[in-house]
Structure 1
Amino acid sequence: MTGSKVVNFLQSRVDLTRGQESSFLTPDFSSATRRGDILTWDPAIAGVLGGLVVQAFSGDHAGERHLEGDELIVAISGQLTVVLLDDHGGVQETIALQENEATLIPCGVWHRLAFDGECRYLFFGGGRTEIRRG
């Protein structure tokens, strides 16, 4: 590492790599491609993508899935619900997370997050992501 860097983690993501230099990056969806109602985003990372999110309302998409690795969700404050979906958008399972609880979402599983109020959470996961527009 050439030197320590301090960033605002709410405005950055981290690419954690093994055997290479890890780096901070700014979320950039300009390279996303659309096929029907599916948006595919490739952050072009070498390792694991991670970030801190503050969110109070559920997203406007109908789910997402990560194509290259599992995703870890850790509730830091507040509460959230991870909704696991089938390939057609039907609810398969809901997982309620309270402060300091975590869950792993398997690679390729459609899911979305639901919120009743403000929540801070960390996520760590792999690469290419498909987002189903609602």
Structure 2
Amino acid sequence: MIGKPVPEFTLTGYNGLHPGLATSDLKQGSVTLVNVFGTWCPPCMAELPTLAALAEQHGVTIHAIAYRDTPEALDRTFRSRPNPFRRIGMDQRGEAVFSLGVTGAPETFIVDGKGIIRYRHVGEIRPEQVDMILNRIAQARKS
């Protein structure tokens, strides 16, 4: 999927503060991260503080696709863990995840402002990988 447009999808939102996610949201002119996660996924939960640091300390816009999850599980999770996501699309059936070619959660995509996938990170983003992710974001901004 690297170098290709994000596939077409429209997902309903998690709640009023975190509206859904659609392909059109990724074509707004700025680079975004799209994180595929699930509250049932231990590595997904482990990376939330790192994603929160990317958002809070580095101003990175991060959206999420909640894969086979429920709003109730997200409520429970975000009571005790950071929520770094601006938009959270609920993908109960895994259709958007499948169209992106995701092999397992977590996976994170860097999408340029035109909706083109510029990088795919398989697995948890760890603190020692933040500089690499920021470099990839900088490269995507130049695209």
Higher strand share: 1
The normalised TM-score by structure 1 is 0.24
* Bigger-Rg structure (1/2): 1
The normalised TM-score by structure 2 is 0.23
Higher helix share: 2
